[in-house]
Each structure stands twice: as C-alpha cells, then as structure tokens.
C-alpha cells in the first residue's frame, strides 16, 4: 500500500504543507494577516472555516499558549472553547506542529489521551514513522493534490503591483523543497520582475524618478519605465517593491496604464518627494538627475541603470 503512487503523492503534498504551516507556527507570536491567510488556506479540517471568522490576535495568543504554555494539554485545548473552537478542531494545529507525537483529529471523536493512544496503535500497526504517513493513508483517495497547482494558479493571476500578495507567496515558496520550487517555476507565466520577486530576497526597495526616466529617449516615452523594470529583473540583486514618482503634469502629457498603478505618485516638486521617500524607506533611486539643489549626497542612493 505505501508504494501506491497516489499515496506517495499525497504524503509528499502533506510534507510540503507541513513545512509551510510549521514555519508559521514557529513565529506564532508575530503572526501577520498574510501568514494567517497562508495558514488557513493550507488547513484541511473544520478549523479552516472557523479561523476565517476569528480575530488573528486572539488566535495567535491561544495558539502560543497551546504550543508553548504550561499545564495540562487538555486544559490548553479546552481553552479554545472561549473563542468558539472545539478541542477536536484545534487538534489539527498540534498535528502540523508535531506529527510524530500528535495525530490528525477525528471530528466525530474527542481529541484526548484515549484518542491519541488509539491512533498510536494504528501508527505502529502500519509500521509508519509519523502521523503524516497515517493521515496520508486515510485520505489519499479522498483528496485531490492541489497544493502546488493552487500556488501556481495564484501566481499566474499576479499583477506587477500586487506587492502584498507577492510577498506572502514569496514567504510560502521559501519554505518549499527544491523540487516543488522547480515545478512552480516551470509552470508560471508572469512578468520576469514578479518571478524574481517570488524567488529572491530583496536588498532594498527602489524608487523610479518617473518623469526623468520618460525623457531617457527621444521622443520621451512611457515605455522607458517598462524597460527599467525589465532591467531590474535581470540584476543579480532584487530591488523590491518599486515606487514611481512623476511630476503632476505627466499624466496629462502621456497616456499609459502605469499611471493607474497603486504604487505611483504624482508630486511637485517630485525631486523632494523622491528624496524624502528614499531616506524614509532606505531605498535606492533610479534617475539621471543629480539633485544638486537639495543639498544631499545623492550618490549613495542612486542605483545606476541604463536602458
């Protein structure tokens, strides 16, 4: 049975999920909404729907106590009833946190010492190393393996300005095994800058002096912005996310969807806004302007790029 290809596919999918969920649980006290979404999307039991309605701070507090607190496990499980979660639902968290010790819950049974002992017996009977394998055996005919396909589908809907979504997908991909990363790369069709942002860690954010870049060609062209972004995708280092600052009159002189991006600003004088933004974010600037009138050593901020 354990050599059934469908069983092995299911087991490897569960291992991928576990690596992602475990990475989130290790940092439960700094849980953010992006990781909370990743966690919820990867759960498989009744807990999935419950967490969509529960405040992230409450969940983090109770889960931290469950995983790291003192006292009887039974009491830490029962405590979740205060926020509307039953022990046989929250038991799924224990499973992902430590599948060598805790089984996946049966939602028709109490998640208690008696249930865990009965699952340990089944584990030994099948000669499995951990409860991930046992759960794979129980579910491989019921579940369609969609973990990687769901990630790929999500990536292929990305826009170049979807910074928040790109960031949490980057965090998810980071926890995957090398083979899974290769499978994702082979099946995504996105802008090269997005792909770089998904598989790399940024060294800093970057600000494009939009009006200056428009005039890097004769005649001036908005396509210069696209060329710069393409150049960024080919650098060894990742500069992400990006912001574009234009003079206020730029959108009346040119026509482009770029002006509708949420990370685009119109400001006059644009130079002052660019410098202030670079200082506050410790970001690099892409511009051929010398910014002499602003009394700043601009060289340390400039990222030298040509098109």
Q: What is the pLDDT of residue 296?
A: 73
Q: Compute the distance between CA of residue 114 and CA of residue 278 in angstroms, rounded to an integer.
A: 59
| Letter string b/e over residues 247-279, b meaning 16 or more CB atoms within 10 A of that residue's CB | beebbeebebebbebeebbbeeebbebbbebbe
Q: Compute the distance between CA of residue 35 and CA of residue 41 in angstroms, rounded to an integer.
A: 10
Structural domains of the chain, ranges and CATH numbers in brackets? 5-139 (no CATH), 201-307 (3.40.50.11980)
Long-range contacts, stretch 248-253, CB < 8 angstroms, 24+ apart = 250/210, 250/211, 250/214
Tens digits of per-residue pLDDT, 251-274? 888 888 999 999 999 998 888 899
- How confident is the chain (307 residues) per 10-residue block, as mean pLDDT? 76 92 94 90 92 94 95 94 95 97 93 94 93 94 83 93 92 88 93 95 95 93 93 95 93 87 90 90 92 74 86
Q: What is the pLDDT of residue 6?
A: 85
Tens digits of per-residue pLDDT, 214-223? 999 999 999 9
Bond before 220 cis per omega within 30 degrees: no
Q: What is the pLDDT of residue 295?
A: 67
Angle at 115 between CA 109 and CA 119, to 5 degrees: 115
Q: Are 31 and 24 in contact (CB under 8 A)?
A: yes
Please provide residue 264's backbone torsions phi and psi, each rounded to the nearest 5 degrees: -105, 135
Q: Are 188 and 152 in contact (CB under 8 A)?
A: yes
């Amino acid at each position: 049975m354990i050599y059934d290809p469908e069983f092995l596919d299911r087991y490897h999918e569960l291992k991928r999920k576990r690596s992602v969920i475990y990475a989130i649980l290790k940092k439960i006290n700094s849980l953010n909404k992006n990781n909370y979404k990743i966690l919820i999307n990867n759960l498989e039991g009744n807990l999935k729907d419950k967490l969509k309605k529960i405040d992230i701070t409450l969940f983090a507090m109770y889960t931290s106590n469950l995983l790291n607190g003192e006292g009887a496990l039974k009491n830490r499980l029962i405590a979740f009833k205060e926020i509307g979660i039953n022990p046989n639902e929250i038991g799924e968290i224990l499973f992902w946190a430590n599948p060598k010790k805790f089984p996946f819950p049966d939602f028709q049974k109490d998640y208690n010492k008696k249930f865990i002992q009965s699952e340990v017996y089944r584990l030994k009977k099948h000669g499995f190393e951990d409860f991930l394998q046992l759960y794979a055996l129980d579910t491989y005919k019921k579940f369609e393996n969609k973990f990687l396909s769901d990630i790929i589908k999500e990536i292929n809907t990305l826009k170049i300005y979807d910074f928040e979504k790109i960031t949490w997908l980057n965090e998810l991909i980071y926890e995957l095994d090398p083979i899974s990363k290769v499978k994702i790369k082979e099946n995504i069709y996105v802008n090269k800058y997005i792909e770089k942002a998904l598989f790399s860690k940024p060294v800093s954010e970057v600000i494009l002096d939009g009006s200056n870049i428009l005039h890097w060609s004769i005649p001036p062209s908005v396509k210069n912005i696209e060329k710069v972004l393409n150049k960024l995708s080919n650098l060894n280092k990742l500069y992400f996310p990006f912001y574009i600052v234009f003079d206020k009159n730029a959108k009346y002189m040119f026509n482009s969807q770029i002006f509708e991006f949420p990370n685009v600003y119109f400001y006059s004088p644009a130079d002052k806004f660019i410098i202030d933004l670079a200082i506050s974010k410790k970001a690099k600037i892409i511009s051929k302007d010398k910014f002499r009138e602003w009394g700043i050593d601009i060289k340390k901020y400039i990222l030298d790029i040509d098109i």
